Structure 1
Amino acid sequence: MKENDSALKRDLKSIGTKDLFILFRDDRDLEIRNELIKRHMYITEILAKKYINKGIEYEDIYQVASLGLIYAIERFDVDKGFEFSSFATPTIIGEIKKYFRDKGWSVRVPRRIQELSKKINMAKAKLQQDLQRIPKVSDIALYLNVSEEEVIEAMEASQVYTPKSLDVTYDASGDDKDIQLQDIIGRDDKTFDTIENKDFINMCLKKLNEVEIKIVNDRFFDNKTQIQVAEELNVSQMTVSRMEKKIIKKFRKELSKLNEI
Protein backbone atom coordinates (compact mmCIF):
# COMPACT_ATOMS: atom_id res chain seq x y z
CA MET A 1 0.00 0.00 0.00
CA LYS A 2 2.84 2.39 0.82
CA GLU A 3 4.37 1.79 -2.61
CA ASN A 4 1.05 2.66 -4.23
CA ASP A 5 0.81 5.84 -2.15
CA SER A 6 4.29 6.89 -3.22
CA ALA A 7 3.40 6.35 -6.85
CA LEU A 8 0.25 8.43 -6.44
CA LYS A 9 2.18 11.27 -4.84
CA ARG A 10 4.47 11.51 -7.83
CA ASP A 11 1.53 12.44 -10.03
CA LEU A 12 -0.80 14.40 -7.73
CA LYS A 13 -2.50 16.32 -10.52
CA SER A 14 -3.98 13.13 -11.93
CA ILE A 15 -5.60 12.14 -8.62
CA GLY A 16 -9.22 13.01 -7.90
CA THR A 17 -9.91 15.52 -5.15
CA LYS A 18 -11.65 13.03 -2.88
CA ASP A 19 -8.75 10.56 -3.16
CA LEU A 20 -6.36 13.42 -2.54
CA PHE A 21 -8.17 14.27 0.71
CA ILE A 22 -7.97 10.60 1.74
CA LEU A 23 -4.22 10.61 1.09
CA PHE A 24 -3.79 13.79 3.10
CA ARG A 25 -5.84 12.38 5.96
CA ASP A 26 -3.58 9.33 6.14
CA ASP A 27 -0.12 10.93 6.08
CA ARG A 28 -0.64 14.75 6.33
CA ASP A 29 1.88 15.29 3.54
CA LEU A 30 2.52 19.01 2.81
CA GLU A 31 2.88 18.35 -0.91
CA ILE A 32 -0.63 16.92 -1.00
CA ARG A 33 -1.96 19.83 1.07
CA ASN A 34 -0.40 22.31 -1.35
CA GLU A 35 -2.10 20.60 -4.26
CA LEU A 36 -5.44 20.77 -2.44
CA ILE A 37 -4.84 24.48 -1.79
CA LYS A 38 -4.19 25.12 -5.49
CA ARG A 39 -7.40 23.35 -6.47
CA HIS A 40 -9.54 25.38 -4.09
CA MET A 41 -8.01 28.86 -4.24
CA TYR A 42 -10.97 29.92 -6.38
CA ILE A 43 -13.12 29.73 -3.22
CA THR A 44 -10.74 32.09 -1.46
CA GLU A 45 -10.85 34.56 -4.33
CA ILE A 46 -14.65 34.55 -4.58
CA LEU A 47 -15.18 35.09 -0.84
CA ALA A 48 -12.42 37.69 -0.46
CA LYS A 49 -13.90 39.83 -3.26
CA LYS A 50 -17.16 40.12 -1.33
CA TYR A 51 -15.34 42.24 1.24
CA ILE A 52 -13.76 44.75 -1.14
CA ASN A 53 -14.21 48.42 -0.15
CA LYS A 54 -15.01 47.55 3.45
CA GLY A 55 -12.13 49.52 4.94
CA ILE A 56 -9.33 46.94 4.63
CA GLU A 57 -7.04 46.32 1.66
CA TYR A 58 -8.09 43.43 -0.60
CA GLU A 59 -4.61 41.87 -0.41
CA ASP A 60 -4.93 41.59 3.39
CA ILE A 61 -8.38 40.05 3.12
CA TYR A 62 -7.13 37.60 0.49
CA GLN A 63 -4.27 36.50 2.76
CA VAL A 64 -6.67 35.93 5.66
CA ALA A 65 -9.05 34.00 3.38
CA SER A 66 -6.15 31.85 2.18
CA LEU A 67 -5.28 31.06 5.77
CA GLY A 68 -8.91 30.10 6.35
CA LEU A 69 -8.70 27.75 3.36
CA ILE A 70 -5.67 26.02 4.87
CA TYR A 71 -7.52 25.61 8.18
CA ALA A 72 -10.49 24.11 6.31
CA ILE A 73 -8.31 21.64 4.41
CA GLU A 74 -6.62 20.49 7.59
CA ARG A 75 -9.92 20.04 9.44
CA PHE A 76 -11.99 18.52 6.62
CA ASP A 77 -13.25 14.99 7.25
CA VAL A 78 -13.77 13.36 3.87
CA ASP A 79 -15.54 10.37 5.46
CA LYS A 80 -18.56 12.48 6.49
CA GLY A 81 -19.62 12.87 2.88
CA PHE A 82 -19.85 16.66 2.78
CA GLU A 83 -18.75 18.74 -0.20
CA PHE A 84 -15.49 20.50 0.67
CA SER A 85 -16.74 23.85 -0.67
CA SER A 86 -19.72 23.69 1.71
CA PHE A 87 -17.36 23.01 4.62
CA ALA A 88 -14.70 25.55 3.63
CA THR A 89 -16.97 28.53 2.96
CA PRO A 90 -18.11 29.20 6.57
CA THR A 91 -14.58 28.53 7.82
CA ILE A 92 -13.07 31.11 5.46
CA ILE A 93 -15.80 33.67 6.08
CA GLY A 94 -15.34 33.17 9.81
CA GLU A 95 -11.63 34.01 9.54
CA ILE A 96 -12.37 37.10 7.44
CA LYS A 97 -15.00 38.38 9.88
CA LYS A 98 -12.68 37.72 12.80
CA TYR A 99 -9.97 39.76 11.07
CA PHE A 100 -12.40 42.62 10.45
CA ARG A 101 -13.52 42.46 14.07
CA ASP A 102 -9.94 42.68 15.35
CA LYS A 103 -8.25 44.87 12.73
CA GLY A 104 -10.96 46.74 10.92
CA TRP A 105 -11.36 49.53 13.47
CA SER A 106 -8.82 52.33 13.24
CA VAL A 107 -9.23 52.99 16.97
CA ARG A 108 -9.44 50.18 19.49
CA VAL A 109 -13.14 49.85 20.34
CA PRO A 110 -14.54 47.44 22.96
CA ARG A 111 -15.96 44.23 21.48
CA ARG A 112 -19.35 45.03 23.04
CA ILE A 113 -19.57 48.28 21.08
CA GLN A 114 -18.44 46.61 17.85
CA GLU A 115 -21.14 43.93 18.14
CA LEU A 116 -23.82 46.49 18.97
CA SER A 117 -22.75 48.59 15.98
CA LYS A 118 -23.39 45.61 13.69
CA LYS A 119 -26.82 45.05 15.22
CA ILE A 120 -27.68 48.72 14.80
CA ASN A 121 -26.84 48.62 11.08
CA MET A 122 -29.13 45.62 10.59
CA ALA A 123 -31.84 47.19 12.75
CA LYS A 124 -31.77 50.45 10.75
CA ALA A 125 -32.35 48.56 7.50
CA LYS A 126 -35.18 46.50 9.00
CA LEU A 127 -36.90 49.43 10.73
CA GLN A 128 -36.65 51.69 7.68
CA GLN A 129 -38.49 49.05 5.69
CA ASP A 130 -41.12 48.50 8.40
CA LEU A 131 -41.65 52.14 9.34
CA GLN A 132 -41.23 53.55 5.81
CA ARG A 133 -38.99 56.28 7.24
CA ILE A 134 -35.51 56.70 8.67
CA PRO A 135 -35.64 55.20 12.19
CA LYS A 136 -34.89 57.41 15.18
CA VAL A 137 -32.46 56.51 17.93
CA SER A 138 -35.43 55.73 20.16
CA ASP A 139 -36.80 53.31 17.52
CA ILE A 140 -33.49 51.45 17.31
CA ALA A 141 -33.11 51.33 21.11
CA LEU A 142 -36.60 49.89 21.53
CA TYR A 143 -36.07 47.34 18.74
CA LEU A 144 -32.73 46.13 20.20
CA ASN A 145 -33.86 46.42 23.82
CA VAL A 146 -30.96 48.70 24.77
CA SER A 147 -30.77 52.27 26.04
CA GLU A 148 -30.63 55.27 23.70
CA GLU A 149 -27.26 56.17 25.22
CA GLU A 150 -25.84 52.80 24.17
CA VAL A 151 -27.14 53.28 20.62
CA ILE A 152 -25.57 56.74 20.38
CA GLU A 153 -22.28 55.47 21.80
CA ALA A 154 -22.11 52.64 19.25
CA MET A 155 -23.07 54.92 16.35
CA GLU A 156 -20.36 57.41 17.28
CA ALA A 157 -17.79 54.63 17.69
CA SER A 158 -18.62 53.28 14.22
CA GLN A 159 -17.20 56.49 12.76
CA VAL A 160 -13.67 55.20 13.44
CA TYR A 161 -14.26 52.04 11.37
CA THR A 162 -13.02 53.67 8.16
CA PRO A 163 -10.83 56.68 8.96
CA LYS A 164 -10.86 59.68 6.65
CA SER A 165 -7.71 60.58 4.81
CA LEU A 166 -6.01 63.82 5.83
CA ASP A 167 -5.91 64.61 2.10
CA VAL A 168 -9.71 64.88 1.89
CA THR A 169 -10.57 68.23 0.30
CA TYR A 170 -13.44 70.50 1.36
CA ASP A 171 -14.94 73.36 -0.59
CA ALA A 172 -14.00 76.60 1.14
CA SER A 173 -16.95 78.97 0.72
CA GLY A 174 -15.89 82.46 -0.18
CA ASP A 175 -12.31 81.42 -0.80
CA ASP A 176 -10.40 80.81 -3.98
CA LYS A 177 -8.93 77.47 -2.95
CA ASP A 178 -10.17 74.31 -1.29
CA ILE A 179 -9.11 73.27 2.20
CA GLN A 180 -7.69 69.87 3.14
CA LEU A 181 -8.67 68.10 6.34
CA GLN A 182 -5.07 68.22 7.57
CA ASP A 183 -5.24 72.04 7.42
CA ILE A 184 -8.20 72.35 9.77
CA ILE A 185 -7.75 69.41 12.13
CA GLY A 186 -6.70 70.29 15.66
CA ARG A 187 -3.21 69.59 16.91
CA ASP A 188 -1.82 69.13 20.40
CA ASP A 189 0.00 72.21 21.64
CA LYS A 190 3.17 71.10 23.40
CA THR A 191 3.30 74.47 25.14
CA PHE A 192 0.33 73.47 27.28
CA ASP A 193 2.18 70.38 28.56
CA THR A 194 5.22 72.50 29.41
CA ILE A 195 3.10 74.99 31.35
CA GLU A 196 1.21 72.24 33.19
CA ASN A 197 4.43 70.46 34.14
CA LYS A 198 6.02 73.68 35.35
CA ASP A 199 2.98 74.54 37.49
CA PHE A 200 2.96 71.05 38.94
CA ILE A 201 6.67 71.20 39.87
CA ASN A 202 6.29 74.64 41.46
CA MET A 203 3.33 73.41 43.47
CA CYS A 204 5.32 70.41 44.74
CA LEU A 205 8.38 72.49 45.57
CA LYS A 206 6.30 74.63 47.91
CA LYS A 207 5.73 71.54 50.04
CA LEU A 208 9.45 70.69 50.37
CA ASN A 209 11.97 72.01 52.86
CA GLU A 210 15.13 73.89 51.87
CA VAL A 211 17.35 70.79 51.77
CA GLU A 212 14.86 68.89 49.62
CA ILE A 213 14.55 71.84 47.25
CA LYS A 214 18.33 71.98 46.90
CA ILE A 215 18.47 68.27 46.08
CA VAL A 216 15.78 68.67 43.40
CA ASN A 217 17.54 71.65 41.81
CA ASP A 218 21.01 70.09 41.98
CA ARG A 219 20.02 66.62 40.80
CA PHE A 220 17.34 67.31 38.19
CA PHE A 221 18.11 70.80 36.92
CA ASP A 222 21.86 71.19 37.40
CA ASN A 223 22.59 67.50 36.69
CA LYS A 224 24.87 67.08 39.69
CA THR A 225 25.72 63.58 40.92
CA GLN A 226 24.56 62.29 44.30
CA ILE A 227 28.18 62.37 45.49
CA GLN A 228 28.54 66.07 44.58
CA VAL A 229 25.29 66.95 46.37
CA ALA A 230 26.34 64.88 49.39
CA GLU A 231 29.66 66.74 49.65
CA GLU A 232 27.93 70.12 49.51
CA LEU A 233 25.47 69.09 52.23
CA ASN A 234 28.18 67.34 54.23
CA VAL A 235 26.21 64.07 54.35
CA SER A 236 26.71 60.60 52.90
CA GLN A 237 25.78 59.70 49.38
CA MET A 238 23.36 57.13 50.83
CA THR A 239 21.55 59.89 52.71
CA VAL A 240 21.09 61.87 49.50
CA SER A 241 19.82 58.76 47.74
CA ARG A 242 17.23 58.13 50.49
CA MET A 243 16.09 61.76 50.46
CA GLU A 244 15.82 61.68 46.69
CA LYS A 245 13.55 58.63 46.85
CA LYS A 246 11.48 60.33 49.52
CA ILE A 247 11.07 63.44 47.34
CA ILE A 248 10.03 61.37 44.32
CA LYS A 249 7.49 59.60 46.50
CA LYS A 250 6.02 62.98 47.49
CA PHE A 251 5.82 64.01 43.82
CA ARG A 252 4.02 60.79 42.92
CA LYS A 253 1.56 61.30 45.76
CA GLU A 254 0.75 64.79 44.52
CA LEU A 255 0.39 63.52 40.97
CA SER A 256 -2.08 60.85 42.12
CA LYS A 257 -4.16 63.53 43.82
CA LEU A 258 -4.12 65.58 40.66
CA ASN A 259 -5.32 62.63 38.55
CA GLU A 260 -8.23 62.03 40.91
CA ILE A 261 -9.61 65.50 40.30
Structure 2
Amino acid sequence: MSNNNRQAEQQEIKNLFKIYSETRDKEIRDTLIEKNLYIAEILAKKYVNKGIEYDDLLQVASIGLILAIERYDISKGFEFSSYATPTIVGEIKKYFRDKGWVIRVPRRIQELSKKVNNAKTTLSQNLQRSPTIKDIAEYLEITEEEVIEAMEGSRVYAPQSLDISFDSQNDDKDVNLQDLIGEEDDDFAKIELKDFIEKTMEKLNEVEKKILIDRYFEKKTQVSIAKELKISQMTVSRMEKKIIEKFRKELEETNS
Protein backbone atom coordinates (compact mmCIF):
# COMPACT_ATOMS: atom_id res chain seq x y z
CA MET A 1 0.00 0.00 0.00
CA SER A 2 1.42 3.40 -1.00
CA ASN A 3 1.87 6.28 1.42
CA ASN A 4 -1.07 8.11 -0.15
CA ASN A 5 -3.31 5.09 0.26
CA ARG A 6 -2.21 4.64 3.87
CA GLN A 7 -2.91 8.27 4.64
CA ALA A 8 -6.30 8.01 2.99
CA GLU A 9 -7.07 4.89 5.03
CA GLN A 10 -6.02 6.60 8.27
CA GLN A 11 -8.11 9.65 7.46
CA GLU A 12 -11.11 7.45 6.68
CA ILE A 13 -10.78 5.74 10.06
CA LYS A 14 -10.55 9.10 11.82
CA ASN A 15 -13.66 10.29 10.00
CA LEU A 16 -15.49 7.12 10.97
CA PHE A 17 -14.55 7.60 14.62
CA LYS A 18 -15.78 11.17 14.51
CA ILE A 19 -19.11 10.10 13.07
CA TYR A 20 -19.39 7.20 15.51
CA SER A 21 -18.74 9.49 18.48
CA GLU A 22 -21.74 11.55 17.38
CA THR A 23 -24.14 8.83 16.21
CA ARG A 24 -23.04 5.56 17.89
CA ASP A 25 -24.20 3.87 14.69
CA LYS A 26 -23.76 0.09 14.90
CA GLU A 27 -22.82 -0.29 11.23
CA ILE A 28 -20.03 2.25 11.62
CA ARG A 29 -18.82 0.45 14.73
CA ASP A 30 -18.75 -2.84 12.79
CA THR A 31 -16.72 -1.15 10.06
CA LEU A 32 -14.26 0.17 12.64
CA ILE A 33 -13.94 -3.32 14.12
CA GLU A 34 -13.25 -4.78 10.69
CA LYS A 35 -10.62 -2.15 9.81
CA ASN A 36 -8.79 -2.54 13.14
CA LEU A 37 -9.20 -6.27 13.69
CA TYR A 38 -5.59 -6.80 12.59
CA ILE A 39 -4.46 -5.30 15.91
CA ALA A 40 -6.42 -7.93 17.87
CA GLU A 41 -5.09 -10.68 15.59
CA ILE A 42 -1.47 -9.62 16.05
CA LEU A 43 -1.76 -9.38 19.82
CA ALA A 44 -3.64 -12.67 20.14
CA LYS A 45 -0.85 -14.45 18.23
CA LYS A 46 1.71 -13.24 20.79
CA TYR A 47 0.08 -15.33 23.50
CA VAL A 48 -0.31 -18.65 21.70
CA ASN A 49 1.53 -21.74 23.00
CA LYS A 50 0.73 -20.72 26.57
CA GLY A 51 -2.03 -23.23 27.15
CA ILE A 52 -4.89 -21.41 25.42
CA GLU A 53 -6.01 -21.88 21.82
CA TYR A 54 -5.56 -19.02 19.35
CA ASP A 55 -9.28 -18.88 18.53
CA ASP A 56 -10.08 -18.31 22.21
CA LEU A 57 -7.40 -15.63 22.47
CA LEU A 58 -8.67 -13.90 19.34
CA GLN A 59 -12.17 -13.83 20.78
CA VAL A 60 -10.88 -12.21 23.97
CA ALA A 61 -8.72 -9.77 21.99
CA SER A 62 -11.71 -8.87 19.82
CA ILE A 63 -13.70 -8.04 22.95
CA GLY A 64 -10.85 -5.76 23.98
CA LEU A 65 -10.94 -4.13 20.54
CA ILE A 66 -14.66 -3.46 20.86
CA LEU A 67 -14.13 -1.95 24.31
CA ALA A 68 -11.37 0.25 22.90
CA ILE A 69 -13.61 1.47 20.08
CA GLU A 70 -16.39 2.25 22.55
CA ARG A 71 -14.07 4.18 24.90
CA TYR A 72 -11.82 5.91 22.37
CA ASP A 73 -12.09 9.70 22.33
CA ILE A 74 -10.74 11.06 19.04
CA SER A 75 -10.63 14.59 20.49
CA LYS A 76 -7.74 13.57 22.78
CA GLY A 77 -5.42 13.60 19.78
CA PHE A 78 -3.54 10.29 20.06
CA GLU A 79 -3.67 7.42 17.60
CA PHE A 80 -6.32 4.73 18.06
CA SER A 81 -3.74 1.94 17.83
CA SER A 82 -1.86 3.44 20.80
CA TYR A 83 -5.06 3.37 22.83
CA ALA A 84 -6.34 0.01 21.60
CA THR A 85 -3.16 -1.97 22.24
CA PRO A 86 -3.09 -1.77 26.07
CA THR A 87 -6.87 -2.13 26.22
CA ILE A 88 -6.73 -5.38 24.25
CA VAL A 89 -3.72 -6.65 26.17
CA GLY A 90 -5.52 -5.86 29.41
CA GLU A 91 -8.39 -8.13 28.40
CA ILE A 92 -5.96 -10.91 27.42
CA LYS A 93 -4.08 -10.64 30.71
CA LYS A 94 -7.34 -10.65 32.63
CA TYR A 95 -8.31 -13.84 30.81
CA PHE A 96 -4.98 -15.43 31.71
CA ARG A 97 -5.35 -14.40 35.34
CA ASP A 98 -8.82 -15.94 35.44
CA LYS A 99 -7.34 -19.13 34.00
CA GLY A 100 -4.37 -19.06 36.37
CA TRP A 101 -1.64 -18.68 33.73
CA VAL A 102 1.38 -16.38 34.09
CA ILE A 103 2.50 -14.23 31.14
CA ARG A 104 6.20 -13.72 30.51
CA VAL A 105 7.57 -11.50 27.77
CA PRO A 106 10.99 -12.33 26.23
CA ARG A 107 14.01 -10.09 26.82
CA ARG A 108 14.18 -9.18 23.14
CA ILE A 109 10.79 -7.52 23.51
CA GLN A 110 12.15 -5.44 26.38
CA GLU A 111 14.97 -4.19 24.15
CA LEU A 112 12.66 -3.58 21.21
CA SER A 113 10.19 -1.67 23.39
CA LYS A 114 12.98 0.72 24.39
CA LYS A 115 13.76 1.41 20.74
CA VAL A 116 10.10 1.96 19.95
CA ASN A 117 9.67 4.37 22.86
CA ASN A 118 12.74 6.34 21.76
CA ALA A 119 11.46 6.37 18.19
CA LYS A 120 8.07 7.68 19.32
CA THR A 121 9.76 10.57 21.13
CA THR A 122 11.97 11.44 18.15
CA LEU A 123 9.16 11.16 15.61
CA SER A 124 6.78 13.20 17.75
CA GLN A 125 9.29 16.05 17.66
CA ASN A 126 10.08 15.66 13.95
CA LEU A 127 6.51 15.17 12.73
CA GLN A 128 4.88 17.51 15.29
CA ARG A 129 2.20 14.86 15.91
CA SER A 130 1.82 11.43 17.47
CA PRO A 131 3.49 8.90 15.15
CA THR A 132 1.48 6.01 13.75
CA ILE A 133 2.54 2.38 13.99
CA LYS A 134 3.53 2.62 10.31
CA ASP A 135 5.70 5.69 11.01
CA ILE A 136 7.54 3.86 13.78
CA ALA A 137 7.96 0.68 11.74
CA GLU A 138 9.49 2.58 8.80
CA TYR A 139 11.76 4.63 11.10
CA LEU A 140 13.14 1.51 12.83
CA GLU A 141 13.00 -0.60 9.65
CA ILE A 142 10.91 -3.28 11.33
CA THR A 143 7.41 -4.65 10.71
CA GLU A 144 4.21 -3.15 12.08
CA GLU A 145 3.65 -6.44 13.92
CA GLU A 146 6.95 -5.98 15.76
CA VAL A 147 5.99 -2.42 16.73
CA ILE A 148 2.69 -3.58 18.21
CA GLU A 149 4.48 -6.43 19.98
CA ALA A 150 6.94 -3.94 21.49
CA MET A 151 4.16 -1.57 22.53
CA GLU A 152 2.49 -4.44 24.34
CA GLY A 153 5.78 -5.40 25.98
CA SER A 154 6.39 -1.86 27.20
CA ARG A 155 3.14 -2.02 29.16
CA VAL A 156 4.60 -4.94 31.11
CA TYR A 157 8.20 -3.81 31.61
CA ALA A 158 8.13 -0.01 31.43
CA PRO A 159 4.74 1.44 32.33
CA GLN A 160 4.59 5.21 32.40
CA SER A 161 4.95 6.38 35.98
CA LEU A 162 2.10 8.47 37.33
CA ASP A 163 4.17 9.54 40.34
CA ILE A 164 6.28 12.25 38.70
CA SER A 165 6.07 15.18 41.12
CA PHE A 166 6.38 18.93 40.72
CA ASP A 167 7.02 21.55 43.37
CA SER A 168 3.84 23.46 44.10
CA GLN A 169 3.99 27.22 43.74
CA ASN A 170 1.31 27.77 46.34
CA ASP A 171 2.47 25.64 49.26
CA ASP A 172 5.18 23.26 50.43
CA LYS A 173 3.54 20.14 49.07
CA ASP A 174 4.53 18.38 45.87
CA VAL A 175 1.97 17.93 43.12
CA ASN A 176 1.93 14.57 41.31
CA LEU A 177 1.08 14.43 37.65
CA GLN A 178 -1.54 11.80 38.47
CA ASP A 179 -3.19 14.45 40.68
CA LEU A 180 -3.20 16.89 37.77
CA ILE A 181 -4.50 14.37 35.26
CA GLY A 182 -7.08 12.65 37.47
CA GLU A 183 -8.22 9.07 37.11
CA GLU A 184 -10.01 7.29 34.31
CA ASP A 185 -9.42 3.83 32.90
CA ASP A 186 -5.86 2.83 33.93
CA ASP A 187 -4.59 2.18 30.41
CA PHE A 188 -6.30 5.30 29.09
CA ALA A 189 -4.72 7.40 31.85
CA LYS A 190 -1.23 6.10 31.08
CA ILE A 191 -1.52 6.89 27.38
CA GLU A 192 -3.15 10.26 27.98
CA LEU A 193 -0.44 11.18 30.49
CA LYS A 194 2.37 10.23 28.11
CA ASP A 195 0.69 12.11 25.27
CA PHE A 196 0.16 15.15 27.52
CA ILE A 197 3.83 15.19 28.61
CA GLU A 198 5.17 14.80 25.05
CA LYS A 199 2.94 17.54 23.63
CA THR A 200 3.79 19.95 26.43
CA MET A 201 7.52 19.27 26.13
CA GLU A 202 7.33 20.25 22.45
CA LYS A 203 6.46 23.77 23.64
CA LEU A 204 9.54 24.03 25.85
CA ASN A 205 12.88 25.39 24.68
CA GLU A 206 16.02 23.26 24.93
CA VAL A 207 17.10 24.65 28.33
CA GLU A 208 13.63 24.10 29.77
CA LYS A 209 13.59 20.53 28.45
CA LYS A 210 16.95 19.84 30.06
CA ILE A 211 15.81 21.22 33.40
CA LEU A 212 12.60 19.19 33.30
CA ILE A 213 14.38 15.95 32.36
CA ASP A 214 17.23 16.47 34.81
CA ARG A 215 14.96 17.40 37.71
CA TYR A 216 12.12 14.91 37.35
CA PHE A 217 13.58 12.04 35.37
CA GLU A 218 17.27 12.11 36.26
CA LYS A 219 16.53 13.29 39.83
CA LYS A 220 19.29 15.93 39.78
CA THR A 221 19.35 18.84 42.21
CA GLN A 222 18.88 22.44 41.15
CA VAL A 223 22.44 23.15 42.24
CA SER A 224 23.96 20.48 39.99
CA ILE A 225 21.84 21.62 37.03
CA ALA A 226 22.88 25.23 37.64
CA LYS A 227 26.55 24.22 37.53
CA GLU A 228 26.08 22.36 34.24
CA LEU A 229 24.26 25.28 32.64
CA LYS A 230 26.55 27.85 34.27
CA ILE A 231 23.64 29.80 35.70
CA SER A 232 22.50 30.48 39.25
CA GLN A 233 20.44 28.05 41.30
CA MET A 234 17.82 30.79 41.64
CA THR A 235 17.52 30.98 37.85
CA VAL A 236 16.98 27.23 37.68
CA SER A 237 14.30 27.54 40.36
CA ARG A 238 12.49 30.32 38.48
CA MET A 239 12.63 28.41 35.19
CA GLU A 240 11.35 25.29 36.92
CA LYS A 241 8.31 27.21 38.17
CA LYS A 242 7.68 28.54 34.66
CA ILE A 243 7.82 24.98 33.31
CA ILE A 244 5.24 23.85 35.87
CA GLU A 245 3.03 26.78 34.90
CA LYS A 246 3.24 25.78 31.23
CA PHE A 247 2.14 22.26 32.16
CA ARG A 248 -0.79 23.67 34.12
CA LYS A 249 -1.89 25.92 31.26
CA GLU A 250 -1.60 23.05 28.81
CA LEU A 251 -3.72 20.90 31.11
CA GLU A 252 -6.36 23.63 31.35
CA GLU A 253 -6.47 23.93 27.55
CA THR A 254 -6.71 20.15 27.19
CA ASN A 255 -9.62 19.96 29.62
CA SER A 256 -11.43 23.02 28.28
Question: What TM-score comes out, normalization by structure 2 length?
Answer: 0.36
- Structure scoring higher RCO (CA < 8 A, sep ≥ 6) equals 2
Larger Rg: 1
